[in-house]
Every structure is written in structure tokens, then in C-alpha cells.
Amino acid sequence: MKKLIMITGPAGVGKTAVCRELFKNTDGAAWLDADWCWMVNPYPGKTSEQKKYAETAFGYILRGYLDDVKTRVILFSWIMHSDFIFDRVTSQLSEEAYELIKIALICSDRDVFIDRKKGNGRREEQVAEMVDMQRFAQLSNTSVIDVANMTVQQTASRILDMASLK
């Protein structure tokens, strides 16, 4: 059965880095990073129209990966801070059987979180913005991983174990 691994968490927590590591180490993987759909320079902010378009595009791309015979693991990373957002994406997917694995990355150490945000090229206002990690920890049917004391490789390895992909 195919596995759809949806990884969420606040900006700067390491979703992209972890998915890059998972993608590199998983045969038959496809990866959709939602950030790719928001690359606009200068960044104007998201309109409701853009959000609707992006969510539709996510569904279309993920359905394509689920229908592809050679893809066995689909990675999707995006800031999904509510069950409603998860549902908006998964409700578009085909009836084909797949295992949904929802993972929230959080960082309980404020200083580590700020250092990581600085280290991965975030703008100054993004570094200063602190996020309520608890909202990610409270998502239903979601496994929470605190990355405060973990490397990207350790986090990816833990996800591979959780998804029975090792």
C-alpha cells in the first residue's frame, strides 16, 4: 500500500530539510513541498484566491503521485496548523487505498528554534516571529516529533521507522 506522509510544523522548524533527507533515502519517493507554490518575488502575501488555487494544485499533484505505479511513498510538507487544512487537501484525493501518516515537527527549545531559523536564511521578521508550537501538537491523528535535540538525519530516520520504511 502506498504511503502519504504529510509533514507539518511552523516555518523554520525543518520540514523541507527533513523531507529532502527522506526523499534522498527512500526509493520510489515523490515529494511535494508546498513552499514551491508560494515562490513569488517580491512576496505579496497570500490572497484567498491564491490559497484556493494552491490547495487545488496540491490535490492534483498528490493524486498524480498516488496514481503513478512507480511511486510508493509520497512526501508532502506544508504549514498545516489545523485539521481543516489537512482535510482540505486529503478530501481531493482518489479513492485508491493509501496509508496516511501525519507528522508535526515542533521545537520546544526557543533558542534552538531561533538559531535554526537564522541558519536557514529566514528574513529578520520571520526569525523574530515566535509560533505557538502547541497548535501543531494538538492536531488529531498526528504524531509529534520534538526536533530540539535532533539532527535532520535523526528526525528523518525516526519518520522512516514510524512509516515502516526501514
The model's pLDDT over 19-38, given as tens digits with 9 standing for 90+, comes to: 999 999 999 999 999 988 77
CATH architecture of the domain 2-162 equals 3-Layer(aba) Sandwich (3.40)
Instruction: Report the range of poorest mean pLDDT among 11-15, 65-69, 89-93, 124-128.
Output: 124-128
- The proportion of the chain whose per-residue pLDDT surpasses 70, expressed as a percent, equals 90
Rounded to an integer, what distance in angstroms lies between the CA atom of residue 78 and that of residue 4? 13
**DSSP codes joined into one string, 33-78:** EGGGGG--SS-----HHHHHHHHHHHHHHHHHHHH-TT--EEEEE-
Q: Which residue has the higher pLDDT, 128 or 45?
A: 45
Identify the three-state secondary structure at position 116: helix
Give the cell for residue 153: 538525519
Q: What is the pLDDT of residue 130?
A: 61
Contact 74, 4 (CB under 8 A): yes
Q: What is the pLDDT of residue 122?
A: 63
What tens digit of pLDDT does each residue of 51-104 get? 888 889 999 999 999 999 999 999 999 989 889 989 989 999 977 789 999 999
The answer to whether residue 159 scores a pLDDT higher than 70 is yes
Rounded to an integer, what distance in angstroms lies between the CA atom of residue 73 and that of residue 157? 15
Q: What is the pLDDT of residue 49?
A: 83
pTM above 0.85, yes or no: yes
The answer to whether residue 10 scores a pLDDT higher than 60 is yes
The answer to whether residue 114 scores a pLDDT higher than 90 is no
Contacts of 91 by beta carbon, 8 Å cutoff, 6+ apart:
59
Cα–Cα distance list, 85 to 26, 82, 116, 135 (Å): 26, 6, 25, 13
Contacts of 53 by beta carbon, 8 Å cutoff, 6+ apart:
none
